[in-house]
């Protein structure tokens, strides 16, 4: 029996530039969760980096790993204990494995139409854009806005440059700016630190609390963005590749969380925005995820003894520009729904619901699918997945 030859990994400068395309999403959540929960920073970064590397080798695509966004937001807002966060990660990991290997994910993928998937991506794009404009771009005051404008100008001017990746230049600009403006009375973040494993396993009460507080809000977002939208983005950007199944995505999603929790890592997922972030800055293979993961491993061992100091290495305005570009690329994916005005309108409604309504991703996923079925019966819209 002949097996297809695995796609090679590339480690060119373009893969290197693309490797950091999702930094604007990951770094604030990583550092924010570590500071809010008190979890061990080296362990969190080493586990996160190791999973990036495994994902790159497993998929041989720019398929990065991201923190579970709903869980991370709740953890930061509530300053929850690390065992409670670990319990949430274990619950969603087991749930996703069950969904993937019982055929439930395949049924969901057949049922949810493409306009709804695009709508979920619109919601994610709106949230990323809002985060960039309200939190990161204004972070440095007037000089920060100048830095952001310079970074955005570099990306615009170099967007067609095939020799020097714009993302790499912007990242270098940010590191140089951080070195020049580093406060004299603030120690640098470097120093060797071994990761520490969690000191205890979650209790039964913590598992019960995590199921309602963390897992339930996350699963709807994960079904829409981490599974369905991720599969769609891979089909969009890599049509020549063998189609990626939702069963495979759900299985690796589940396994990653069963690995991360015992190592003291954050709950994680795949994500459509992460792939877009890597792709738009030049990545085309799993080499970008391997490069990114290796950098995070090094950071975990040598740079995150003081997470707040580490975050200064990449200034907020630079993170904001990376996030801004990623958000625009995610939002642009909805343009393929424009030929059908009804489909486009459904996608926009789902996107606004996902972005702004309580439990928005669950409402968009369920409500949008039901609405599309009604429209299909009235022959107003094509709803094939």
Task: Write the CB contacts of 255 (distance below 8 Å, at least 6 apart in sequence).
Answer: 93, 97
Q: Is residue 192 part of a domain?
A: no
Looking at residue 222, the DSSP 8-state letter turns out to be I
pLDDT tens per residue across span 176-194 = 998 888 887 777 778 888 8
Please state, in angstroms and rounded to a whole number, the distance separating the CA atoms of residues 76 and 41.
14
Of 62, 97, 138, 126, the closest CA to residue 349 belongs to 126
What three-state secondary structure class fits 67?
A: strand
pLDDT tens, N- to C-terminus, the chain (385 residues): 344 556 789 999 889 888 988 887 788 888 888 888 989 999 999 999 999 999 999 999 999 999 998 888 888 878 899 999 999 999 999 999 999 999 999 999 889 888 998 898 898 888 888 888 888 888 888 888 999 999 999 988 887 776 777 777 888 898 899 888 888 777 777 888 889 999 889 999 999 999 988 888 788 778 888 898 899 999 999 998 888 999 999 999 999 999 999 999 999 999 888 898 899 888 999 999 999 999 999 999 998 877 777 777 888 888 888 888 888 888 988 998 998 889 999 999 999 998 898 878 888 888 999 998 888 877 655 555 4
Q: What is the pTM of this model?
A: 0.83
Q: Is residue 364 part of a domain?
A: yes
Q: Are 71 and 84 in contact (CB under 8 A)?
A: no
Number of helices (H) and strands (E) in the chain: give both, helices first.
Answer: 19, 2
Q: What is the pLDDT of residue 6?
A: 65
Beta bridge partners of 269: 66
Structural domain for 343, as ranges: 13-183+199-377
Q: Are 269 and 226 in contact (CB under 8 A)?
A: yes
Q: Are 67 and 307 in contact (CB under 8 A)?
A: no
Q: Is residue 94 part of a domain?
A: yes
Radius of gyration of the chain, Cα coordinates, nearest whole angstrom:
20
Q: Is residue 383 part of a domain?
A: no
Q: Is residue 384 part of a domain?
A: no
Q: Which two tokens stand for residue 185?
A: 């009375």
Q: Which two tokens stand for residue 195?
A: 């990761």
Domain count, the chain: 1
Burial call 202-224: b when 16+ CB within 10 Å, e when fewer = beeebbebbeebbbbbbbbbbbb
Q: Is residue 62 part of a domain?
A: yes
| In 38-181, alpha helices (H) | 41-59, 69-78, 82-101, 104-111, 114-131, 141-157, 166-181
Q: What is the pLDDT of residue 351?
A: 92
Please state, in angstroms and rounded to a whole number, the distance separating the CA atoms of residues 102 and 88.
21
Q: What is the pLDDT of residue 1?
A: 38
Q: Which two tokens stand for residue 105?
A: 């994910």
Looking at residue 266, the DSSP 8-state letter turns out to be P
Q: Is residue 295 part of a domain?
A: yes
Q: What is the pLDDT of residue 26?
A: 86
Distances (CA, A) of 37 to 31, 33, 84, 222, 379: 10, 6, 10, 22, 51
Of 111, 6, 4, the closest CA to residue 366 belongs to 111
Q: Is residue 189 part of a domain?
A: no
Task: Write the CB contacts of 150 (distance below 8 Å, at least 6 apart in sequence).
Answer: 173
Looking at residue 213, the DSSP 8-state letter turns out to be I
Q: Which two tokens stand for residue 319?
A: 């993170």
């Amino acid at each position: 029996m002949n097996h297809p030859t695995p796609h090679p990994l590339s480690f060119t400068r373009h893969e290197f530039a693309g490797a950091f395309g999702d930094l604007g999403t990951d770094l604030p959540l990583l550092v924010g969760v570590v500071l809010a929960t008190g979890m061990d920073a080296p362990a969190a970064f080493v586990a996160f980096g190791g999973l990036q590397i495994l994902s790159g080798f497993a998929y041989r695509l720019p398929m990065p790993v991201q923190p579970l966004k709903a869980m991370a937001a709740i953890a930061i807002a509530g300053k929850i204990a690390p065992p409670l966060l670990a319990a949430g990660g274990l619950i969603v990991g087991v749930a996703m494995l069950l969904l993937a290997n019982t055929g439930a994910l395949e049924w969901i993928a057949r049922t949810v139409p493409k306009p709804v998937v695009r709508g979920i991506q619109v919601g994610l794009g709106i949230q990323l854009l809002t985060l960039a404009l309200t939190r990161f771009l204004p972070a440095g005051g007037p000089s920060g806005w100048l830095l952001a404008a310079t970074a955005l100008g570099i990306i615009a001017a170099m967007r067609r440059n095939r020799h020097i990746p714009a993302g790499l230049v912007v990242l270098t600009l940010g590191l140089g700016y951080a070195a020049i403006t580093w406060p004299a009375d603030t120690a640098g973040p470097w120093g060797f630190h071994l990761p520490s494993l969690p000191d205890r396993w979650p209790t039964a009460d913590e598992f019960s609390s995590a199921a309602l507080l963390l897992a339930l809000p996350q699963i709807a977002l994960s079904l829409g963005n981490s599974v369905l939208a991720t599969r769609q983005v891979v089909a969009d950007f890599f049509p020549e590749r063998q189609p990626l199944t939702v069963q495979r995505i759900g299985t690796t999603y589940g396994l990653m969380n069963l690995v991360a929790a015992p190592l003291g890592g954050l709950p994680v997922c795949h994500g459509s925005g992460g792939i877009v972030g890597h792709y738009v800055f030049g990545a085309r293979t799993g080499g970008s995820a391997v490069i990114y993961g290796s950098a995070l491993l090094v950071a975990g061992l040598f740079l995150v003894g003081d997470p707040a100091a580490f975050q200064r290495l990449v200034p907020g305005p630079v993170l904001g520009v990376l996030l801004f570009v990623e958000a625009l690329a995610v939002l642009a994916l909805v343009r393929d729904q424009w030929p059908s005005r009804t489909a486009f309108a459904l996608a926009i409604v789902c996107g606004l619901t996902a972005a702004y309504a309580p439990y928005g991703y669950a409402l968009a996923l369920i409500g949008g699918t039901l609405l599309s079925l009604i429209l299909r019966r009235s022959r107003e819209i094509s709803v094939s997945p």
